Every structure is written in structure tokens, then in C-alpha cells.
Structure 1
Amino acid sequence: MDIQHLPEPVRKYIRYTGSIGKPKVNNFKVEFTGKIRKNEQTEWMPFTSEQYNFMEIPTRLFFMKAVMKRLPIAGYHLYKNGDAYMDIRLLSLFKVQYKDGVEMDIAETVTFFNDMCCMAPATLIDERISWQVMDENMVKAAFTNNGITITAFLFFNEAGELINFKSDDRYNTDAGKKLPWSTPLGRYREMNGYKLAGYAETIYTYPDRDLCYGTFEVSSVKYNCTDKK
């Protein structure tokens, strides 16, 4: 793996996670447990999820099962080469929320890049990423896919851990505009030969407050899967 062109904080992170000397990551599967909510006025919903990411043609398939007022909710996010949609259904039948379009395409490009940074550090050598050093523990990244370019700031601690990811390019449906979006990370542990963050939150920053609307505990990570088992 050639990491010489990367900023030092990113090189340090890749070394810390044990990504050096491993096979090139072509795809990965992640399983989560956690809880989500729409805003502070709604109840937290426990969920389990699994997702599949593919690198050559950037693709993300995200499947979620949640419970809302004792009723099952199924969620599906599809992102493929810059096109995305989200479909949330009650009892797997009745639409609760559906969204597609340009804003969704950009938002899910941010999410795909976030997955690369948090769950597959070895993919950060990708030539679709350009880097700018901000200081010794922070870099700015621009990720381009199929004509869509998003930017994000990556924050690291002295140990080399990625501790936060922030982007201003993710659209918030409730606000009707883009809001700063961040995913603070922690609880690093060994997973399938890599040292990765085991916990993350998803936060939108409104002008008057931060809204944490999701918490994620990583159950498992697998790389270069040949099937969906």
C-alpha cells in the first residue's frame, strides 16, 4: 500500500488501524446495533442494520430494522455511483418516508465517504480523494464521484485515532437545507484484524443546538466478501 502521498495524520491513522500490509479493500460489510430518532420530541427507536459497500463503482446498500411504538420499521438506503434514494416503511409495506433527488445524491456521497474513513481506512489511498493539511491533527478531504464533489474535515487525536468527521454538504430534510453534520467516534478495538472505532454518533448542528439523532455500535466488519453471509 502506497501511503506516501497522504497527509501525515492520515498515514498515522492508517498505520494505527493495522491497514498496512493487508489486501486491497474492494468491498466491505458492516453490522450495527443502535438507536435513532427524528428529533428531540420523538422517541428513540432501537435498530439493527447491515450494509454493503463496494469501491470500484461506489455503491452502498444499507438495510435497517427498527421498532417504533412496538411496530416494526424497515429502512433501505441505496447509493450507486452518485444516485441515491431512501425508503422507510412501516411493517415493510406502508411508506413512512421516501426521498431521492440531487440533495439525496449529495448526502449519500458524504455518507459513503464517511464509511470509507471510519470503517475501511485502507481505502483512503483512493485517487478520487484530494487532501489538504489544516494542522497536525486535522485534514480537509474532497471526495469526487461521478461529477459530485463533497468535502469533509477529519479530526485525529495524538494516538492516531480518527475521532470526528465533519461535513457541511449533507442535506437535512426537516430543515430544508444543508446543515453541518458530524460523526464523533470512539471505543477503538480489534475487529477482524483491524483496530477500528466501535462506537459513533450522528449529529446535525442547527443554529441554536446540536441534535444527536443516532448512535451506532459496530457488531462486525468484514472485508472483500464473496457472498452476503
Structure 2
Amino acid sequence: MKDLYISEVRKELTKYSNCSNDIITENDIVPLPEPIQKYFRYCGYLGKEKMNNAEIEWEDVFYKNSPNKKWMSLKCYQFNSVPEPTRIAYMKSRIMGIFPFEGRDKYQNGHGNMLIKFLKLLKVVDAKGKEMDESALVTVLAEALVVPTYAFQHYIKWTAIDSNTAKAVIRYNESEVSGLFYFDDLGEFIRFETDDRYYSERGTEYKKVKWSAVAGNYIEKNRIRFPSYLKAIWHTDEGDFEYFKGNIANIKFNIK
């Protein structure tokens, strides 16, 4: 599974190996809604190279697949590419500290796929199709400001709501999804909400359920601020179900 992840990342790196890295300027952010502009300034992105891709280094990551389950500790590796909306994540853990459990979650080439294997051989989930395409694209959108040059791409359209809120619509291949970005008065992105993500209790039936991603604990590295803590929450009829939480230790842009 890790080899699969590495091979998919390498394909993206090869595809866009000749991309130039222009500088982010005021002219780039002027067309964006006010809170997005403020975010770029607050985080220190003006004058920095535009990001064609990113390697996100996670630590202290936890996941659970149902509200009544215990949290499972994960090792998590993530790569994003910008020219086409692309997100590839590899996760591994051990059930009861013994049995290997691996997952690869991606949006690539216009399609989403969640692949999970137990004991390295037994395929327990291989989710794909319209619901996965849209759900995986929503995840790209939710994390777009972590790799902020996503905001400049033709496949994302922005609408100003107020001084602390902006709406984004992302359209790629045959999928279109949207969500709201919320910011505090400093300019920090603090929450993303959407009604365009599909929820499945058993992996067989899907329904759209309100979903949110919460960001916080901003840190500064290499003169750039970014949220170091993220969590994901389903807002079901039975109540809120927080199923993912983790810390971003570092972000490396323009990997070769």
C-alpha cells in the first residue's frame, strides 16, 4: 500500500516537473473575497513562491469509523498537487497493536477512491464511484487554504459572503461541490462546512450529511503561518460525530 502511494505521488511529480514557481503578489489576491485576501496577508504568503504541490507531515493522528468505537492511532502521509485538484493520503496502523491495517485515500485524475487493506492482503474497502468522486473533491476543497494557491485555480470559483465568510465552488471532471469558509478577525481560517459530502455507515449505502472541518493552533515555520491542528466532524441526525483529528507538524512546498 505504501508502494502504491509512492508510485501515485511520483506520477504527479513527473507530470508537473517543469512547472515554474512565480511569486504570489497583491494582484493575485485582489480578485478573491476579502477574508481570503486577509488570510494570505496574515499567513505571510505574499512574496512567497506559488505552490505547485505540497507534502504534509502529520503527527498525533487519530481516527474512528463509528461513534461508539475507540480512537485508533494512525501514521499519516499526504501529498497534494495543484494544477489539477489532487490529494493522496496513506495511513497505517495496527489493530490491537498487532494486526496491520492500511488505507489509501485519494482524489486523482478526477476520481476519488478509498482503499483499505487488513493484514496487507485482505481488501476490506475499495470505495469508488460518483459519491466517492464528490466526497474526495470536497476534501480537496476543505484543505485548499493549507496549500493556498488552490485559491487561484480556474476550477475554484469564490463568492464573498461577509467580512469573515466566503463561499467556494469547485468543479472538476463531472463533479461539482461547494462549501463555506469561516475566518476569525485576525484572518485565521477556522472552519469549513459543506452539505455535499456523502456519509456511509457500512460502506454500501450513501447519503449526503452535513460535514465540517475545524482548523486552529496556527504556528509559524519558514516565515509562513498555517493551522497545525485539524479535525473532521459529521453532523448526523443522531448528533455530531468527530472521527478524525491530527496535527500538521510541517508542510513542504514544491517537492521535486
The TM-score bracket by the shorter chain reads: over 0.9
Paired residue secondary structure (2:209): strand
Q: Deviations over 1:139-184 (max 9, x none)?
A: 1111111232110100000000000011111111117301111111
Counterpart position of 2:53: 27
Task: Please say which of residues 69-78 and 44-53 is displaced more in the overlay.
Answer: 69-78
- The answer as to whether partners of 2:82 and 2:149 remain within 8 angstroms in 1 is no
Counterpart position of 1:173: 200
Across the aligned residues of Structure 1 and Structure 2, the Cα RMSD in angstroms comes to 1.4
The structure 1 segments of at least 4 consecutive aligned residues displaced by more than 6 Å after TM superposition are none
Which amino acid in structure 2 is aligned with residue 92 of structure 1? Answer: K
Counterpart position of 2:161: 134
Find the aligned partners of 1:182 and 1:150 in 2 and give their Cα distance.
14
Which amino acid in structure 2 is aligned with residue 60 of structure 1? Answer: R
Find the aligned partners of 1:161 and 1:52 in 2 and give their Cα distance.
23
- The answer as to whether partners of 1:83 and 1:105 remain within 8 angstroms in 2 is yes
- Paired residues, number: 225
Among 62, 66, 76, the alignment partner of 2:104 is 76
- The answer as to whether partners of 1:192 and 1:221 remain within 8 angstroms in 2 is no
Cα distance, 1:81 vs. partner?
2.7
Which amino acid in structure 1 is aligned with residue 62 of structure 2? Answer: K
Higher strand share: 1
Paired residue secondary structure (1:10): helix
After TM superposition, the score normalised by the length of structure 2 is 0.84
Find the aligned partners of 1:56 and 1:122 in 2 and give their Cα distance.
9
Counterpart position of 1:182: 212
Find the aligned partners of 1:92 and 1:216 in 2 and give their Cα distance.
24
Among 215, 224, 227, the alignment partner of 2:254 is 224
Paired residue secondary structure (1:183): strand
- The answer as to whether partners of 2:35 and 2:166 remain within 8 angstroms in 1 is yes
Among 103, 128, 131, the alignment partner of 1:103 is 131
Find the aligned partners of 2:39 and 2:120 in 1 and give their Cα distance.
40
| 1:197 matched to 2:227 | yes
Counterpart position of 2:40: 14
Cα distance, 1:127 vs. partner?
2.3
After TM superposition, the score normalised by the length of structure 1 is 0.93
Paired residue secondary structure (1:111): helix
| 1:145 matched to 2:175 | no
Unaligned runs of at least 5 residues, structure 2: 1-24
